[in-house]
């Protein structure tokens, strides 16, 4: 692969995580193909821009030509009406996986979410092997994303890593982030590990920083080849306390409230 990563395709490259991954991988690849619905401008000779809709399987497949890996970050990023989530997250992921199958892509990284298990209590340490307990319709769509990844690994032999991404922020800004924060440095560490770990058929990993108060297991991340280094506790004194509510006992916090989903039904 030359520099080690060869040709990497990043979907959702204009998003917050996508933008960070773009900058972080730019100097480590031979070619970086940036895919998004919005227009982007190449910022180096290694970058190539593709403006397309992930619902177009032929366009997606064409973008994956000669790719060594794909980092699939595109889709609907939060709670929304179920038809939108099925279209943007489930159908879009299926098209990426199908394009990867057709083009013989060596590794597929799927952006999953901690919201897939948001109804577990904060008192419980959750591993990827536990059953999903999504905190909303967005979480349900991520259950389907992981199921598609497992299907394409089992049935078609793709190498798939699902990263259950935590609260990606420059710094934690609310109490829940003391457990769920994913720093930019740790985010890139997990992405690099997901792209380079040898011998992976299918695995799911919580991408979260080494927060003292975390409630997700990080051993799988260590097995993948990355151990996070940042800790949200360093910011604890500057974050105001939450009000008393039942959602404070759930890992999804306010995302687990009925109101958060009912406005989209």
- Rounded CA-CA distance 91/88 in Å is 6
Active site includes 226?
no
Give the contacts of 23 (CB within 8 A, at least 6 positions apart).
Answer: none
Q: Is 70 in contact with 100 (CB distance < 8 Å)?
A: yes
Q: How many CB atoms lie within 10 A of CB 173?
A: 14
Q: Is 141 in contact with 76 (CB distance < 8 Å)?
A: yes
**Of 120, 138, 152, 255, catalytic:** 138
Q: Would the CA dihedral through 229, 230, 231, 234 be positive or negative?
A: positive
- Rounded CA-CA distance 247/119 in Å is 9
Q: Which residues are catalytic?
A: 138
């Amino acid at each position: 692969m030359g520099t080690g990563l060869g040709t990497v395709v990043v979907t959702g490259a204009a998003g917050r995580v996508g933008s960070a991954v773009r900058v972080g991988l730019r100097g480590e690849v031979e070619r970086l193909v940036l895919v998004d619905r919005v227009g982007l401008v190449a910022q180096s000779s290694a970058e190539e821009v593709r403006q397309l809709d992930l619902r177009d399987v032929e366009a997606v497949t064409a973008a994956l030509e000669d790719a060594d890996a794909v980092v699939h970050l595109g889709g609907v990023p939060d709670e929304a009406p179920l038809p939108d989530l099925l279209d943007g997250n489930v159908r879009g992921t299926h098209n990426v996986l199908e394009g990867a199958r057709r083009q013989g892509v060596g590794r597929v990284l799927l952006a999953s979410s901690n919201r897939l298990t948001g109804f577990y209590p904060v008192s419980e340490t959750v591993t990827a092997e536990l059953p999903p307990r999504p905190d909303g319709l967005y979480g349900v769509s991520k259950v389907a994303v992981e199921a598609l990844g497992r299907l394409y690994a089992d049935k078609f032999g793709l190498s798939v890593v699902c990263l259950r991404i935590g609260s990606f922020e420059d710094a934690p800004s609310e109490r829940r982030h003391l457990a769920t924060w994913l720093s930019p440095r740790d985010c890139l560490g997990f992405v690099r590990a997901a792209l380079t770990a040898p011998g992976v058929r299918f695995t799911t990993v919580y991408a979260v920083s080494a927060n003292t108060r975390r409630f997700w297991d990080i051993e799988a991340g260590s097995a993948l080849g990355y151990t996070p280094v940042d800790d949200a506790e360093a910011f604890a004194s500057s974050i105001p306390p939450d009000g008393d509510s039942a959602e404070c006992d759930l890992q999804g916090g306010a995302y687990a409230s009925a109101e958060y989903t009912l406005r989209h039904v």
